[in-house]
């Protein structure tokens, strides 16, 4: 075997550590062999996706040359000069006719920090458009909005993941860690032994099952979909009315406690049970379990963690706020061994939103409408502050405005597959068809890439240098282990070349280490301060056995900040803000013509839209098609047997998939994973209604009818790609 390269997994934000070793003389089935490494997040473990991640590097349909759509409507190979010239010519023509805002950019949470930073800079200085957002709007927006307004900063976990092991209780709301981040479950072993794991999920997910068949390892609360906020309001009610709150902490470290106490007074457990379906006795027992673990009562500590299941909602920000209110009431945030956090999903979902892909942010987590922030970043970029555009449209609004009068006429897509991952996906397909130009950077022909006018081949994770920021705010190094195939290039090179062709005088570096240095300068003084970091420092830290550094790192001698909020909160008065919220319910609630709740989520073998994992034969063999999970009681009532093909219909359309009977789900609810396109693409029928604060779409609940489907009416489930 050759010399190994230390890097990290290309998938989720756990960023499991691995060593990539090339086989001798290229004799192996893949270009590198994957070996897990000991690291604080994965503790030497990998999931099925991590073990097989090298296979995507040699996908049989890997894009290795630029592609241009010809007069015959098909994509054909082209040279880089021709492809970039076509893009530049068409961008100039569109902007000459419609203005700078006619160009839009959609990024991804899997891009390295360097590429995410450069993409935001490219959009605002070269294209001069405000219209940039990214798929992290679908992932962490509600958690970010809730944490920012209550705690003053958004870092998914403001503490190391390993801290969970010492807690007496951990409550997970809307997170199925056992399938989405399997190695992370090791950190819950001690909590389970203490009987302190609380899982809130309408399904008896793999994670919920960790509470034990008889609850010996914890508690599974199984609310009506869309009512998690009610559960939190009731738990806070019990903590306050039973005298379990940390009153000294509330007085010293928070504001707004009185208003929150008044607001939750209306949510006594019996009333809450009538809305969320969780028995009042179970709500009381859970509140007491969390309180007993809290420091104020001499417990070892407690954590409250939220995930997409409660955040992807029109009341997602309110639900996150309620979770933070409960944590503050118990005196958890800012104490070693306790806290509130949000489970970041995408590999660089944290870093991706910190440095300029969000429509309202500049690098360092600065607000784009803040004059001081604009002046600081303008100095780094070498531009005048007034030339930096203001806030743009958030993701759903941006996608639905494509090709409309006054809306963008061209779209650049980087690291995202919106035709599968966006809500109400058929509407997105219509909007893409209305564009004058669609440019997609990708390494495989995703459903979105297959719709593009120009496809640019880019490097994958093992073919590039850079940094990622894990779910804990830990900045780590991604390293190149092999050369990219064919003509694949880094987006950093693409941005520099397009900037030159478009006549921009703004400098775009192509060396990831130099781009990171610029990012560090741009972030300096911001909430997400990377000023004291560099590739060299991160390399030296790892060489000394270090596990990466946690932001903020404001100077080269600063050791990093593993735990936030220990002394105060980054708010004007140093206190956390408790904000009263109330339950409204889902935007698309059940009704006579759509009497069943649909919830969506992931399966162990696949990731996001499946563009990568569907190309791994072993993963595809284990999970080859979409399915509809429903309770046998619901199956009997609807005349649907296990294995029958069923149709799900919402006001946005219909899809189909085989039924799977299971008693792990509520009888009023069906579940579908979202990793497939075609006839079984569940996001074709999910709602694109959004949270009014975070603008996050309500993926996780909508109303559907479920009917058996006769074989003659069925569409081919194997179809890959949204129908034209």
> Quick check: helix, strand or coil at residue 457?
strand
On average, the pLDDT of the chain sits at 95
Instruction: Note whether 387 and 375 are within 8 A (CB).
Output: no
Residue 443's pLDDT band, with cuts at 50, 70 and 90, is very high
CA–CA distance, 123 with 57 (Å, rounded to integer): 29
Mean pLDDT of 299-318: 97
Q: Residue 213: is its pLDDT beyond 80?
A: yes
Instruction: Note whether 697 and 423 are within 8 A (CB).
Output: yes
Q: Residue 712: is its pLDDT beyond 60?
A: no
Model pLDDT, residue 715: 64
DSSP labels for 332-356? Answer: -TTSTT-EEEE---BTTHHHHHHTT
Model pLDDT, residue 54: 95
Indicate the pairing of strand 169-173 with strand 132-134: unpaired
Model pLDDT, residue 139: 87
- Expressed in percent and rounded to 5, the helix, strand and coil fractions of the chain are 35, 20, 45
CA–CA distance, 352 with 365 (Å, rounded to integer): 10
**Longest Cα pair distance anywhere in the chain, in angstroms?**
73
Q: In the chain, what percentage of residues exceed pLDDT 90?
A: 93
Model pLDDT, residue 272: 98
Model pLDDT, residue 315: 97
Mean pLDDT of 13-33: 85
Model pLDDT, residue 27: 62
Model pLDDT, residue 717: 57
Q: What would the pLDDT profile of 616-628 be if each residue is shown by its tens digit?
A: 999 999 999 999 9
Tokens at residue 609, please? 């839209």
Q: What would the pLDDT profile of 580-593 be if each residue is shown by its tens digit?
A: 999 999 999 999 99
Q: Residue 721: is its pLDDT beyond 90?
A: no
Instruction: Note whether 470 and 39 are within 8 A (CB).
Output: no
Tokens at residue 524, please? 């300096």
Identify the CA nearest to 103 among candidates 132, 140, 142.
132
Q: What would the pLDDT profile of 57-94 be if each residue is shown by its tens digit?
A: 999 999 999 999 999 999 999 999 999 999 999 999 99
Model pLDDT, residue 713: 57
Mean pLDDT of 422-429: 97
List Cα–Cα distances, 267 to 171, 270, 625, in angstroms. Answer: 20, 8, 42
Tokens at residue 312, please? 């992807």
Tokens at residue 155, please? 């870092």
CA–CA distance, 296 with 428 (Å, rounded to integer): 50
Mean pLDDT of 559-569: 97
β-bridge mates for residue 219, sequence order: 198
Residue 714's pLDDT band, with cuts at 50, 70 and 90, is low
Mean pLDDT of 480-484: 96
Instruction: Note whether 207 and 180 are within 8 A (CB).
Output: no
Indicate the pairing of strand 466-469 with strand 474-478: antiparallel
Q: Residue 722: is its pLDDT beyond 70?
A: no
Q: Residue 401: is its pLDDT beyond 70?
A: yes
Residue 724's pLDDT band, with cuts at 50, 70 and 90, is very low
Instruction: Note whether 146 and 324 are within 8 A (CB).
Output: yes
Mean pLDDT of 502-509: 97
List Cα–Cα distances, 649 to 389, 559, 634, 685, in angstroms. Answer: 41, 54, 16, 7
CA–CA distance, 239 with 229 (Å, rounded to integer): 16
Mean pLDDT of 221-241: 98
CA–CA distance, 66 with 64 (Å, rounded to integer): 7
Tokens at residue 714, please? 């069925």
Q: Is the peptide bond before 371 cis (omega within 30 degrees of 0)?
A: no
> Quick check: helix, strand or coil at residue 647?
strand
Q: What would the pLDDT profile of 236-285 be if each residue is shown by its tens digit?
A: 999 999 999 999 999 999 999 999 999 999 999 999 999 999 999 999 99
Q: Which domains does the chain have, with CATH numbers?
A: 5-58 (2.20.25.90), 95-139+348-510 (3.40.50.740), 154-343 (3.40.228.10), 596-713 (2.40.40.20)
Model pLDDT, residue 723: 33
Q: In what helix (H) or strand (E) does residue 177 lie, and over which residues does it extend?
A: helix 177-180
DSSP labels for 585-636? Answer: --SS--BTTB-EEEEEE--TT--TTSTTGGG-HHHHHHS-S--EEE-HHHHH
DSSP 690: B
CA–CA distance, 144 with 394 (Å, rounded to integer): 14
Residue the block writes with tokens 């894009």:
63
Residue 711's pLDDT band, with cuts at 50, 70 and 90, is low
Q: What would the pLDDT profile of 624-648 be if each residue is shown by its tens digit?
A: 999 999 999 999 999 999 999 999 9
β-bridge mates for residue 437, sequence order: 410
Residue 425's pLDDT band, with cuts at 50, 70 and 90, is very high
Tokens at residue 626, please? 């979409």
Q: Residue 98: is its pLDDT beyond 90?
A: yes
Mean pLDDT of 132-159: 95
Mean pLDDT of 344-351: 89
pTM of the model: 0.96
CA–CA distance, 479 with 73 (Å, rounded to integer): 38
């Amino acid at each position: 075997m050759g010399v190994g390269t230390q890097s990290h997994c290309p998938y989720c934000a756990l960023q499991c550590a691995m060593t990539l070793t090339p086989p001798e003389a290229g004799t192996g089935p893949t270009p590198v062999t994957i070996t897990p490494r000991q690291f604080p997040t994965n503790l030497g473990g990998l999931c099925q996706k991590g073990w097989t991640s090298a296979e995507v590097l040699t996908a049989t349909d890997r894009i290795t040359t630029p592609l241009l759509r010809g007069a015959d409507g098909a994509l054909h190979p082209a040279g880089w000069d021709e492809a970039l010239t076509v893009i530049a010519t068409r961008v100039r023509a569109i902007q000459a006719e419609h203005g700078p805002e006619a160009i839009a950019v959609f990024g991804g949470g899997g891009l390295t920090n360097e590429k995410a930073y450069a993409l935001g800079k490219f959009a605002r200085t070269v294209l001069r458009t405000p219209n940039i957002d990214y798929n992290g709007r679908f992932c962490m927006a509600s958690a970010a909005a809730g944490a920012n307004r209550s705690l003053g900063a958004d870092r998914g976990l403001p503490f190391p993941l390993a801290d969970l092991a010492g807690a007496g209780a951990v409550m997970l709301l809307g997170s199925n860690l056992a399938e989405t981040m399997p190695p992370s479950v090791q950190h819950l072993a001690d909590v389970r032994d203490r009987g302190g794991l609380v899982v809130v999920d309408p399904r008896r997910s793999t994670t919920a099952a960790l509470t034990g068949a008889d609850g010996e390892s914890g508690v599974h609360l199984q609310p009506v979909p869309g009512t998690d906020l009610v559960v939190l309001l009731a738990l806070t009610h019990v903590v306050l009315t039973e005298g379990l709150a940390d009153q000294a902490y509330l007085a010293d470290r928070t504001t707004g406690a009185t208003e929150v106490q008044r607001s939750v007074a209306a949510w006594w457990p019996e009333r809450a049970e009538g809305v969320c379906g969780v028995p009042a006795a179970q709500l009381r027992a859970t509140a007491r379990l969390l309180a007993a673990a809290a420091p104020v009562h001499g417990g070892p500590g407690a954590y409250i963690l939220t995930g997409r299941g409660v955040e992807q909602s029109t009341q997602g920000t309110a639900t996150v706020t309620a979770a933070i209110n409960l944590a503050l009431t118990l005196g958890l945030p800012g104490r070693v061994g306790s806290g509130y956090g949000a489970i970041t999903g995408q590999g660089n979902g944290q870093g991706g939103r910190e440095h300029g892909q969000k429509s309202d942010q500049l690098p360092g987590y600065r607000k784009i409408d803040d004059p001081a922030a604009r002046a600081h970043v303008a100095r780094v970029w070498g531009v005048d502050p007034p030339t930096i555009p203001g806030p743009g449209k958030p993701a759903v609004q941006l996608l639905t405005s494509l090709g409309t009068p006054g809306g963008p006429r061209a779209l650049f897509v980087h690291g995202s597959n919106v035709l599968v991952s966006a809500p109400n996906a058929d509407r997105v397909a219509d909007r893409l068809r209305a564009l004058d130009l669609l440019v997609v950077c990708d390494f495989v022909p995703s459903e979105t890439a297959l719709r593009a006018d120009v496809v640019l081949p880019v490097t994958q994770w093992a073919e590039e240098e850079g940094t990622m920021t894990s779910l804990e705010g830990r900045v780590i190094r991604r390293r190149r282990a092999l050369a990219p195939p064919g003509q694949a290039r880094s987006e950093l090179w693409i941005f520099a070349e397009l900037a030159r062709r478009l006549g921009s005088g703004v400098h775009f570096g192509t060396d990831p280490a130099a781009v990171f240095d610029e990012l560090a300068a741009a972030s300096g003084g911001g909430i997400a301060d990377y000023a004291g970091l560099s590739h060299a420092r991160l390399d030296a830290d790892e060489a000394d056995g270090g596990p990466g550094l946690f932001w903020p790192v404001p100077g080269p001698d600063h050791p990093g900040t593993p735990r936030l909020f220990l002394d105060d909160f980054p708010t004007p008065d140093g206190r956390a803000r408790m904000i009263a919220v109330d339950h409204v319910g889902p935007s698309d609630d059940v009704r006579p013509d759509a009497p069943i709740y649909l919830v969506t989520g992931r399966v162990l073998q696949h990731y996001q839209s499946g563009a990568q994992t569907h190309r791994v034969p072993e993963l595809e063999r284990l999970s080859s098609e979409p399915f509809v999970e429903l309770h046998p009681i619901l199956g009997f009532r609807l005349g649907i047997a296990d294995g029958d093909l069923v149709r799900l219909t919402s006001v946005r359309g219909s899809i189909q998939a085989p039924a799977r009977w299971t008693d792990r789900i509520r009888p009023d609810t069906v579940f579908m994973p979202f990793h497939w396109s075609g006839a079984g693409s569940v996001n074709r029928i999910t709602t694109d209604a959004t949270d009014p604060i975070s603008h996050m779409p309500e993926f996780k609940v909508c109303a559907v009818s479920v009917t058996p489907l006769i074989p003659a009416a069925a569409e081919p489930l194997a179809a890959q790609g949204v129908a034209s």
